[in-house]
Amino acid sequence: MGSIIIFFIGGVLQLLGITVVANLLANKILPVKTILFATLFMSLGIIFLNSIQYFTIIYTTAVLVFFLKRRGGTWIISFVAPMLSFIVIVIADYLVSWMVGEGLGFYLHDYNNVYLNFVFLIPNFVCAYLIGALIYWILYKRNFQGVLNRNGFVIVALMAMTMAITYLFIYLEGALGFPKGLTSIYLILFVTFFITISIVFLIMDRIRKEHDKHQKQATELAQLSDYTERLEKLYTNMNTFRHDYINILASLHGYIEQGDTLQLKTYFKNTITPLKTNLTNNQNQLATLQKINNLTFRATLNTLFTKAKQKRIDLHLEITDHFQMTDEQCTTIENQLAELINQHQNTKLKLNLTPSGIERMSSE
């Protein structure tokens, strides 16, 4: 009876370890209370272990997926984190067994003892957590989340296949009674699976970066083309004004000679004032853009000026002097300005542009 209790407690602790590792791989979205609840629900699978054996993994994985998704995890992370945690636990178990066997000549499966299994839980968990921490660093510190989001179905399928192969080997080991010497072979196989998955991640990430690079280049070319067309249009408008100013002066002279004050005011309001405003805005916009040395960023700002004009926003950007900006600073300013334009309509915005971002001076 005592061995059964120890077996059950050991199983619960192992499930707790799996949950902790899965939570780490999911960027620690589960609080402690939820981890304990998830482990409690997963522990029900131990009761059915004798009847459905390794199919309990499906149940425990489903429980983890449910809790991770409920706490705001994406579908991809909610599936990948539990499956990857099972694989990590298996690798850690065989790694510790191999190290103890090779170092001390002690092989756990030579002793059919529940208490020894219980003792091995702590080093297994420590090893699994360290492996999980390494994967966490790769995923979240090296910005590999985009690979998961873009290639979610492939990665989930790959994880499921790896889990199936892993537990198939474990089942065959118990069913066929493989000798202890095969432990090192299992370790090599599992590590090979892990490295294969990592290589797939790297390849997908490389493809993603190349795709983003080409997409960015296409966007920049389109913005530069639009910027060139807008400059040509501004130049044409200014030349048109130079040719039309004689007609404007003649019209003003005619209204003055006739003493038609009402027509003069109307002409001034409908023709001169909009023309003056348009020329002033164009001149200010050109002066602003010329202070930016990054041609791509200049083209992007030109696109945002056009968008602001479409929303009837009188946009004024103040730049005190010429300055250089990194791509990251340019992206930050682009996002801030785009957000401001999206939030306003039929208004006037006066903003101060600095390398650190946009400062709002006034709005009407």
Q: What are the pLDDT digits (tens) for 164-184?
A: 776 676 666 666 665 555 555
What does the pLDDT average to over 210-228?
A: 75
Of the three residues 156, 186, 215, the one that is the final residue of a domain is 215
Q: Examine residue 254 and state whether it is found in any structural domain, yes or no.
A: no
Query: Residue 233 has what pLDDT?
Result: 67
Same-domain check for residues 196 and 94: yes
- Is the Cβ–Cβ distance between 322 and 346 less than 8 Å? no
When comparing pLDDT for 287 and 344, which is higher? Answer: 344
Which of 47-56, 229-238, 284-293 has the lowest average pLDDT?
A: 47-56
Q: Examine residue 49 and state whether it is found in any structural domain, yes or no.
A: yes
Same-domain check for residues 135 and 70: yes
Residue partners of 54: CB distance under 8 A and separation at least 6: 167, 170, 171
What is the pLDDT confidence band of residue 160, given thresholds at 50, 70 and 90?
confident
Same-domain check for residues 290 and 181: no
Same-domain check for residues 64 and 181: yes
Same-domain check for residues 79 and 16: yes
Same-domain check for residues 133 and 281: no
Of the three residues 161, 190, 215, the one that is the final residue of a domain is 215
What is the pLDDT confidence band of residue 11, given thresholds at 50, 70 and 90?
confident
Q: Examine residue 36 and state whether it is found in any structural domain, yes or no.
A: yes
What does the pLDDT average to over 253-273?
A: 65
Query: Residue 146 has what pLDDT?
Result: 62
What does the pLDDT average to over 137-160?
A: 69
Same-domain check for residues 126 and 33: yes
When comparing pLDDT for 303 and 241, which is higher? Answer: 303
| Angstrom distance (rounded) from CA 77 to CA 99 | 31
When comparing pLDDT for 127 and 358, which is higher? Answer: 127
Q: Examine residue 249 and state whether it is found in any structural domain, yes or no.
A: no
Statement: residue 297 has pLDDT above 60: yes
pTM over 0.85: no
Same-domain check for residues 195 and 267: no
Query: Residue 90 has what pLDDT?
Result: 79
Q: Examine residue 224 and state whether it is found in any structural domain, yes or no.
A: no
Statement: residue 359 has pLDDT above 80: no
Query: Residue 321 has what pLDDT?
Result: 63
What is the pLDDT confidence band of residue 104, given thresholds at 50, 70 and 90?
low
Q: Examine residue 46 and state whether it is found in any structural domain, yes or no.
A: yes
What does the pLDDT average to over 95-99?
A: 77
What does the pLDDT average to over 234-256?
A: 62
When comparing pLDDT for 95 and 324, which is higher? Answer: 95
Same-domain check for residues 77 and 197: yes
- Is the Cβ–Cβ distance between 153 and 200 less than 8 Å? no
What is the pLDDT confidence band of residue 192, given thresholds at 50, 70 and 90?
confident
Same-domain check for residues 210 and 263: no
Total number of domains constituting the chain:
2
Q: Which domain holds residue 284?
A: 259-363
Query: Average model confidence (pLDDT) for the chain?
Result: 71
Same-domain check for residues 58 and 195: yes
What is the pLDDT confidence band of residue 99, given thresholds at 50, 70 and 90?
confident
Same-domain check for residues 202 and 329: no
Q: Examine residue 220 and state whether it is found in any structural domain, yes or no.
A: no
Of the three residues 191, 215, 239, the one that is the final residue of a domain is 215
Statement: residue 79 has pLDDT above 80: yes
Q: Examine residue 227 and state whether it is found in any structural domain, yes or no.
A: no
